[in-house]
Structure 1
Amino acid sequence: MTEEFDFIIVGAGTAGCVLANRLTENGKYSVLLLEAGGSDLSIWIQMPIGYGRTFFDRRINWMYDTEPVESLGGRRSYWPRGKVIGGSGSINAMVYVRGQPRDFDDWKALGNVGWGWDDVLPFFKKSEDFDWHSAHHGRGGPQHVTDISSHVHPVCHSFVETAQALGFPASSDFNGARPEGVGYYQINTRGGWRASTANAFLHPARKRKSLALRTHAHAQRILFEGKRAVGVAYSHKGADRIAKARREVILSGGAINSPQLLMLSGVGDAGQLQKSGIDPVVDAKGVGRNLQDHIAVSYFYKVRTATLNDVLHPMLGKIRAGLRYMADRAGPLSLSVNQSGGFVRSDATKLHPNLQLYFSPVSYTKTPLSERKLLNPDPFSAFLLSHNPCRPTSRGHIELACADPKAYPVIHPNYLATQADIDDVLAGNRLLRQLVRTRPLADIITEELIPGPTIEGDEALLADFRARADTVYHPTSTCMMGSDPAASVVDARLKVHRVEGLRVIDASVFPTITSGNTNAPTVMVAEKGAAMVLEDAK
Structure 2
Amino acid sequence: MSDSKSYDYIIVGAGSAGCVLAGRLSEDPSVNVLILEAGGSDKDPLIQIPLGMGKMHQHRMHDWGFDAEAEESVNGRKIEAMRGKVLGGSSSINVMAYVRGHRGDYDRWAQKGATGWSYEEILPYMRRCEDWEGEENKYRGKGGPIRTQWAKNDDPLLEDWKQACVDAGYKLTEDYNGGDTEGVGVSQSTQRGGERCSAAVAYLHPAKSRHNLKIEKNAYATKILMNGNKAIGIEYSKNGKLIKANADREVLISGGVFGSPQLLMLSGIGPADHLNDVGIEPVVDLKGVGKNLQDHMACLVHYTRPNAGKFRDLMRFDRMAIAMLRAYFFKNGPATVLPGGLHGFIKTRSELAVPNMQLMFRGAAPHAHLWFPGIKKAYTDGFGMRPVLLHPESRGEVLLRSSNAKDKPRIIQNFFSSPNDIAVLREGVRRIRDIISQPALDHWRGVEVAPGQDIQTDEQIDNWIRQTTVTAHHPSCTCQMGTNEDAVLDPELKVRGVEGLRVVDAAAMPDLVSGNINAAVLMIAEKASDMIKGVDPLPAAEGA
TM-score (norm 1): 0.95
Letter of the 1:384 partner, please give it: G
Aligned to 1:371: none
**Cα distance 1:377–1:480, how it changes in 2: closer, same or farther (>3 A)?**
farther
The 8 Å contact of residues 49 and 328 in structure 2, kept in 1 or not, is answered as no
The 8 Å contact of residues 308 and 362 in structure 1, kept in 2 or not, is answered as no
Aligned to 2:497: 498
**Which residue, out of 212, 216, 219, partners 2:218?**
216
Structure 1's consecutive aligned runs of 4 or more residues displaced over 4 angstroms after TM superposition are 56-59
Aligned to 1:412: 412
The Cα shift of 1:211 comes to 0.3
Letter of the 1:126 partner, please give it: R
In 1, the alpha carbon distance for the partners of 2:491 and 2:377 equals 45
Gaps of 5+ in 1: 368-375
Correspondence 1:426 to 2:426: yes
In 1, the alpha carbon distance for the partners of 2:456 and 2:193 equals 45
Aligned to 1:147: 150
Query: Between the two proteins, what is the percent identity of the paired residues?
Result: 39
SS of 2:243's equivalent in the other structure is: strand
The 8 Å contact of residues 359 and 384 in structure 1, kept in 2 or not, is answered as yes
In 2, the alpha carbon distance for the partners of 1:41 and 1:203 equals 11
In 2, the alpha carbon distance for the partners of 1:239 and 1:58 equals 27
How big is each residue's C-alpha offset from its partner over 1:315-356, in whole Å with a ceiling of 9 and x where there is no partner?
243245335535742333112333212101224343431110
How big is each residue's C-alpha offset from its partner over 1:489-519, in whole Å with a ceiling of 9 and x where there is no partner?
1010000001100000000000001111111
**Cα distance 1:109–1:378, how it changes in 2: closer, same or farther (>3 A)?**
farther
The Cα shift of 1:309 comes to 4.2
Letter of the 1:514 partner, please give it: V
In 2, the alpha carbon distance for the partners of 1:216 and 1:365 equals 33
Moved more, 128-137 or 505-514: 128-137
Gaps of 5+ in 2: 370-375, 538-544
**Which residue, out of 35, 38, 51, partners 1:36?**
38
SS of 1:243's equivalent in the other structure is: strand
In 2, the alpha carbon distance for the partners of 1:56 and 1:430 equals 29
Within-5 A mapping of 1:132-531: 132-135=134-137, 136-148=139-151, 151-322=153-324, 324-325=326-327, 328-365=330-367, 379-484=379-484, 486-531=485-530
The 8 Å contact of residues 45 and 328 in structure 2, kept in 1 or not, is answered as no
The Cα shift of 1:488 comes to 1.1
SS of 1:522's equivalent in the other structure is: helix
The Cα shift of 1:184 comes to 1.4
Within-5 A mapping of 1:63-102: 63-102=65-104
In 1, the alpha carbon distance for the partners of 2:236 and 2:398 equals 22
Letter of the 2:116 partner, please give it: G
The 8 Å contact of residues 309 and 363 in structure 1, kept in 2 or not, is answered as no
The Cα shift of 1:11 comes to 0.2
**Cα distance 1:331–1:380, how it changes in 2: closer, same or farther (>3 A)?**
farther
Within-5 A mapping of 1:95-134: 95-134=97-136
How big is each residue's C-alpha offset from its partner over 1:4-58, in whole Å with a ceiling of 9 and x where there is no partner?
1000000000000000000011212100000100000010011111111222556
How big is each residue's C-alpha offset from its partner over 1:51-95, in whole Å with a ceiling of 9 and x where there is no partner?
112225566211111101221111110111111000011000000
In 1, the alpha carbon distance for the partners of 2:398 and 2:360 equals 28
Letter of the 1:454 partner, please give it: D
In 1, the alpha carbon distance for the partners of 2:368 and 2:36 equals 40
TM-score (norm 2): 0.94
Aligned to 2:373: none
SS of 1:249's equivalent in the other structure is: strand
The 8 Å contact of residues 344 and 359 in structure 2, kept in 1 or not, is answered as yes
Aligned to 2:541: none
The 8 Å contact of residues 271 and 289 in structure 2, kept in 1 or not, is answered as yes
Aligned to 2:7: 5
Aligned to 1:373: none
Moved more, 310-319 or 71-80: 310-319
The Cα shift of 1:114 comes to 0.5
